[in-house]
Amino acid sequence: MMSDISLKQIVESIIFVTDSPLTLDRLCSILEEFEREEIREAIASITADCRANGRGVELVLVAGGYQFRSRPELADYIRRLKRVKPARFSPSSLETLAIIAYRQPVTRAEIEYLRGVDSGGILKSLLDKKLIRIIGKKDIPGKPLIYGTTREFMETFSLKDLASLPTLREIEELADSGDDTDQVPLPLDGTDELF
C-alpha cells in the first residue's frame, strides 16, 4: 500500500535498529526482493546524505558491516550523557594488541620475544575484553595456544577489516638499510635465520 517507501529508508531503518555492524550480505538476505547493487547504492546514498547535511551521525563501515556512529568531534558531548570513563588502553596492552593484530596467528612466546617481557597478564585482560581470542593451538611441541584479534577489536578501533590496519614500515627494508638512510649499516647479512 505504501508505495512511497524507498529502499533507502528501509536500509536506513534496519541499520539504525541493529545493535552491531550489519553486513551487506545480511542486508541482502533480509531484503531479498532487492538487488545487491540497489542496496549498495542505498547505503552509499545514506553515507553521502549524512556527510552532506552535516549530521551528528555518520554511516561507517566497521568490522565488515555498516553502523551509525556519532562523529568524533562530538565525543565530549556524548561523554557528558554517558558519564562513563572513556575507553582507555595502557601502553602495554596497545603494544600487545598491535603485535597480535599484525602478526596473527601468534603464540604467547612470540609476543613475549617481541616485547621482551612476560605478557600473560595482558593477554588475559585482552581476552576478558574480548579484543583477542584463542584461535587454536600451534602444531609444534607443547602445542601452544595461538591468538588472534576479534570482531570487537575491529569495532573498537574503527577498522573495516584487518587489511585496513595502518601499514607498518617493513623490517626487510631495514635489513638492507643504507639505501634509504645515511647511517652506516651493520653487516646484517646472515641474520635472516633469526626469524
Partner 1 sequence: MIPDPDQNPLFPNDDSTACLVSTEAFEGPLDLLLHLIKKNEVDIYNIPIAAISRQYLDYLDLMRELNLDVAGEFLVMASTLIQIKSQMLLPLSPDPETDDDQVQDPRAELVRRLLEYDRYREASALLAAREILDRDVFARKFLPPELDIEAPDDALPEIDLFELVDAFRRILAKAPKDSFHEVGSENISIADRIADILLYLEGKESVEFEELFIGTNTREFIVASFLAVLELCKLRMIKLSQFENYGSIFVRSAIIQEAA
Site residues, partner 1 (CB under 8 A): 16, 19-20, 60, 67-72, 75, 78, 82, 84, 86-89, 91-92, 94-95, 97-99, 101-102, 113-118, 127, 130, 134-137, 139, 150-152, 155-159, 166, 168-169, 171, 174-175, 177, 183-191, 194-195
Nearer to partner 1, 10 or 34 (CB): 10
Q: Closest distance between partner 1 and the C-beta of residue 67, in Å?
A: 5
Number of residues assigned to the chain? 195
Nearer to partner 1, 108 or 115 (CB): 115
Cell numbers standing for residue 171: 623490517
With beta carbons less than 8 A apart as the criterion, state whether 104 and 148 touch.
yes
Nearer to partner 1, 55 or 130 (CB): 130
Q: Closest distance between partner 1 and the C-beta of residue 87, in Å?
A: 4
- CA–CA separation, 97 vs 148, rounded Å? 9
Nearer to partner 1, 33 or 166 (CB): 166
> Residue 86: CB partners within 8 Å, gap ≥ 6?
75, 79
Q: Closest distance between partner 1 and the C-beta of residue 54, in Å?
A: 16
Nearer to partner 1, 37 or 193 (CB): 193
Quick check: helix, strand or coil at residue 135? Answer: strand
> Residue 87: CB partners within 8 Å, gap ≥ 6?
156
Nearer to partner 1, 54 or 72 (CB): 72
Q: Closest distance between partner 1 and the C-beta of residue 174, in Å?
A: 5
Nearest 5°: the CA angle 89, 167, 40 is 90
Q: Closest distance between partner 1 and the C-beta of residue 1, in Å?
A: 29
- CA–CA separation, 110 vs 71, rounded Å? 37
Q: Closest distance between partner 1 and the C-beta of residue 79, in Å?
A: 9
With 0-12 / 13-18 / 19 or more C-beta atoms within 10 angstroms meaning exposed / middle / buried, residue 126 is buried
